[in-house]
Amino acid sequence: MIRNIIFDIGNVLINFKPDQFLRRYINDELRIKEFITKVVKTELWLNLDRGIISLQEARDEYLERYPEESNLLLTFFDHWKEMLTPITHNIQILRELKANGYRIYLLSNYIQEAFDYVQDRNEFFTIVDGKIISSEIKSAKPEAKIYQKLLDKYNLNPEQCVFIDDVESNLHQAQSLKIKTIHYLKDTDLRSELRTLNVKI
């Protein structure tokens, strides 16, 4: 029986869509795609998630690597947190699950400054039962340590948990620990997926 619902944050509860964000500033899809590949989808960005470098250090490193993109990089780092907006229909599901007696946890790769930003602006964080954030423990999904930390810290039985994440590779480690999973995409009916696991929602 499922007792614990574990949510990823990015693109499950809070939007993180750099392509849409960058379209505010440039009208060049190829350049946007290349920028995301060079900045967001890199080990350096993952080290931000791990909390082992600062935003300032990352910004300076990107500027050194890609001086031809200095204007866009500066704009991005000045304004990127503005894209972190709530996904209201999933937050409503979270609230309903909490009201129905499930315990709610967060397990997410998140830059510390970004997490502080969204936590301050979204009241639902106050009702969760626990959280493990990558930058706080210096480990990021899909590394085994971050999943085990959640299970150990809150004494969770993995077979009573379901984990919801938008990145398929992040689900494999959870599955290896006998946690049930839902791969959340933009067209996923989250209520239906939860109901298939006999979750009351």
How high is the pLDDT of residue 122?
98
How high is the pLDDT of residue 118?
98
Task: Give me the percent of the chain exceeding a pLDDT of 70.
Answer: 100
Q: Which of 83, 108, 128 is the last residue of a domain?
A: 83
Residue 181 lies in a domain: yes
Q: Are residues 117 and 56 in the same domain?
A: no
Q: Are residues 142 and 53 in the same domain?
A: no
Q: What residues pair up with 10 in beta bridges, in sequence order?
A: 14
Residue 172 sits at the vertex; the CA angle it makes with 166 and 174, to the nearest 5 degrees, is: 90
Alpha-carbon gap, residue 128 to 132, rounded angstroms: 11
Q: What residues pair up with 164 in beta bridges, in sequence order?
A: 7, 182
Q: Are residues 156 and 137 in the same domain?
A: yes
Contact 165, 171 (CB under 8 A): yes
Residue 172 lies in a domain: yes
pLDDT digits (tens, 9 = 90+) for 12-36: 999 999 999 999 999 999 999 999 9
Q: Which of 58, 83, 108 is the last residue of a domain?
A: 83
Please compute the mean of the pLDDT values over residues 120-139 and round it to a whole number.
Answer: 97
Alpha-carbon gap, residue 158 to 186, rounded angstroms: 26
Q: Are residues 126 and 168 in the same domain?
A: yes
Residue 50 lies in a domain: yes
Please compute the mean of the pLDDT values over residues 163-184 and round it to a whole number.
Answer: 97
How high is the pLDDT of residue 59?
96
Tokens of 201: 């929602």
Q: Are residues 95 and 144 in the same domain?
A: yes
Q: Are residues 116 and 152 in the same domain?
A: yes
Q: Are residues 180 and 99 in the same domain?
A: yes
Q: Are residues 67 and 119 in the same domain?
A: no
Q: Report the CATH number that the domain containing residue 166 is assigned in CATH.
A: 3.40.50.1000
Read off the pLDDT band of 113 (50, 70, 90): very high
Read off the pLDDT band of 152 (50, 70, 90): very high
Q: Are residues 185 and 152 in the same domain?
A: yes
CB neighbours of residue 93 within 10 Å? 20
pTM of the shown model: 0.96
User: What is the secondary structure of 135-153 as a DSSP string?
Assistant: HHHT--TTSHHHHHHHHHH
Domain that holds residue 65: 18-83
Residue 78 lies in a domain: yes
Residue 201 lies in a domain: no
Alpha-carbon gap, residue 76 to 99, rounded angstroms: 38
Q: Are residues 148 and 176 in the same domain?
A: yes
Straight-line distance from the first to the last Cα atom of the chain, in angstroms, rounded to the nearest whole number:
14
How high is the pLDDT of residue 164?
98
pLDDT digits (tens, 9 = 90+) for 80-102: 999 999 999 999 999 999 999 99
Domains held by the chain: number: 2
Q: Are residues 99 and 187 in the same domain?
A: yes
Q: Which of 56, 83, 110 is the last residue of a domain?
A: 83
Q: Are residues 106 and 183 in the same domain?
A: yes
How high is the pLDDT of residue 41?
94
How high is the pLDDT of residue 188?
97
Alpha-carbon gap, residue 123 to 144, rounded angstroms: 29
